[in-house]
Amino acid sequence: MRYKRVLLKLSGEFLSGNGFGIQPDATKTLAQEVAKAHALGTQLAIVVGGGNLWRGARQGVGMDRATADYIGMLGTIMNALALQDALEFLGVPTRVQTALTIQQVAEPYIRRRALRHLEKGRVVIFGGGTGNPFVTTDTAAALRGLEMNVEAVLMAKNKVDGVYDDDPRKNPQARKYDTLTFHDALVRGLQVMDGTAMTLCQEQGLSIIVFDMFKEGSLEGVIRGEPIGTLVHR
């Protein structure tokens, strides 16, 4: 089964090479993987985080929480623009839409316009999260995925090829799940998405696939329907 329309959730670290800021080589490598997936003909939306530029829980200590979160939203827009630039350099038509209005650099989020972009074969990158503080970009991914009528949310992970019952980087005996229900993931406290995002996906029946983005060709394989990563379903 090949997915016709998906939403890819990326963390900001994919643009930083596991460091800080935006690194051109890391962003180019990421864009190449996205471009290969786009070439399959699948309609592709993206939500990108901003942890490579700002982590409110650490850098925003002592700040008003809403202000710290808005700074983080601006970081996600910076990442969205960097990824757009890298994709368009590869010839992939791309649009950035933001939940915060910055018309000089991106379109404001308009659902019908975003759907039209997808139908025309453009990659749509959503920046600015949901536009609201106290909400993570995981929740933004779930919300935009539902609004875009995608078939699955693809959760890209950093060198972890799915959901495990323990941290596989620390425990070599950790067991990987090939499939998992939302209920089991929530009850066991497994790190798939944040709880709000998972509950939203569970209620609406939107599946999540957790996979290793750093493994070359994995995004293409997931879109082709190959048994890669962990499928989280209702």
Q: Identify whether the C-beta of residue 180 lies closer than 8 Å to the C-beta of residue 232.
A: yes
| Angle between helices 195-204 and 137-147 in degrees, nearest 10 | 20
pLDDT at residue 40, rounded to an integer = 95
Can you give the residue ranges of every domain in the chain? Answer: 5-233
Q: Which amino acid is at 78?
A: M
Binding residues for ATP: 9-12, 51, 55, 158, 164, 167
Burial (Cβ within 10 Å: 0-12, 13-18, ≥19) of residue 145: buried
Output the six-digit token pair for 136: 């993570």
Supply 191's token pair. Answer: 């790190």
CA atoms within 13 A on the CB side of 72: 29
Residue list for the binding site? 9-12, 50-51, 55, 69, 130-137, 158, 164, 167
pLDDT, tens only, 47-93 = 999 999 998 767 778 899 999 999 999 999 999 999 999 999 999 99
Identify the pLDDT of residue 1. 63
Detail the residues annotated as belonging to a binding site for UMP.
50, 69, 130-137
- Which stretches of the chain score pLDDT less than 70? 1, 57
Task: Give pLDDT, residue 20.
Answer: 86
Report the phi/psi class of residue 18: left, alpha or beta, with left for phi > 0 and alpha for psi in -120 to 50. Answer: left
CATH of domain 5-233: 3.40.1160.10
The strand pairing partners of 169, in sequence order, are none
Beta bridge partners of 45: 7, 124
Return the H-helix or E-strand segment holding 23.
none
Task: Say how far apart CA 229 and CA 222 lie, in whole Å.
Answer: 8
